[in-house]
Amino acid sequence: MTISPRVLLSIDYEPWFALFRRYDSLTDPEQRRALDGGFTLRALDPILDQLGSAKTSIFLVGEIAGWYTEVPQKIVAAGHELGLHCHIHRPLKNVDDLAQDLRASAHWLRQYNVRGYRAPMVGISEAAYPLLEANGFVYSSSMYAPAGLLLQRGNVWEIPVSTTNPRIHAQYAAPRDFTFKLLLHGEFPYGSSFSIGLMGGQILRIIERELKRGLSPSIFLHPYELVKPPASARLTRDLVLHPHLLPFLRDKSGFLKTLLRHFPVSPLGTYLDEMLKTRVSYPPSVERPEGVI
Ligand SMILES: [Zn+2]
């Protein structure tokens, strides 16, 4: 028994300024909320409208749940899977920083029984997995690897953001850092919204090809790619200083519309549940590669 291939669509729901590392050290919650300027609240209804009847995983930055309690409520009420993208968006590879970050969001994680985690910058450390497990997470989607892989660390499943298959044979394990060398070997991270911003139409063709092969590609978008953040001198200056980030701010609502018109999508948690049921149905004598189902 196999499950039907679908696009594992997620939105890393973060403020526009999460793009720029210069705001990582801004610790005053009121200043951070003022910088968001209500965008993450205003953007939600238009994004839910764009999604229509399609269901996704929305990995929420916890400080947004603190600013606007209606944001997680509306996500769940619209039938999407609510996940965690961290409490304050910054690199969180240090396990003590991650532990503190998880504590800051603990109340709404419990309230909504959150099971899925996406690390900021899709970067996770080995020590993060036991910590995620201890905090009730069932899966993470915090590394890059070819579509179709499902890896296990303890009792936490890793559902990678998708890349194309490399030209050379490779072994996969969680965690995994995406390096330039992998790119040279033909592994292209098409699931990243950066890649979608660079070459949207071609990404749709890659997705179509993967689905035809029976694989379920995992891709992510951001709210500021679906609804335009307010123009400001600050944003303009940040982009002038970091022009390589421009693909992140390219409007992807057209991409999303085409994706939803042509391909089935599902939240990551739904896919995992179906995959695990399928796995149990195999006779115990069937050999499987270590950690891969
Ligand atoms: Zn992010």
pTM to 2 decimal places: 0.93
Q: What confidence category does residue 285 fall into, taking pLDDT thresholds of 50, 70 and 90?
A: very low
89 C-alpha to ligand 1 centroid (Å): 7
Domains of the chain are 7-280 (3.20.20.370)
Residues with CB under 5 A from ligand 1 (ion): 12, 14, 120
- Return the H-helix or E-strand segment holding 151: strand 151-153
281 C-alpha to ligand 1 centroid (Å): 36
Q: What confidence category does residue 268 fall into, taking pLDDT thresholds of 50, 70 and 90?
A: very high
Predicted confidence (pLDDT) per residue in 208-261, tens digit: 999 999 999 999 999 999 999 988 888 888 888 888 888 888 899 999 999 999
CB neighbours of residue 263 within 10 Å: 18
Q: What confidence category does residue 1 fall into, taking pLDDT thresholds of 50, 70 and 90?
A: low
The rounded Cα 221 to chain-centroid distance in angstroms is 7
Q: How far is CA 121 from CA 5, 86, 219, 269, in A?
A: 26, 11, 14, 20
142 C-alpha to ligand 1 centroid (Å): 10
Predicted confidence (pLDDT) per residue in 132-144, tens digit: 999 999 999 999 9
Nearest to 264 by CA among 205, 211, 209: 211
Q: What is the pLDDT of residue 283?
A: 45
% of the chain exceeding 70 in pLDDT: 95
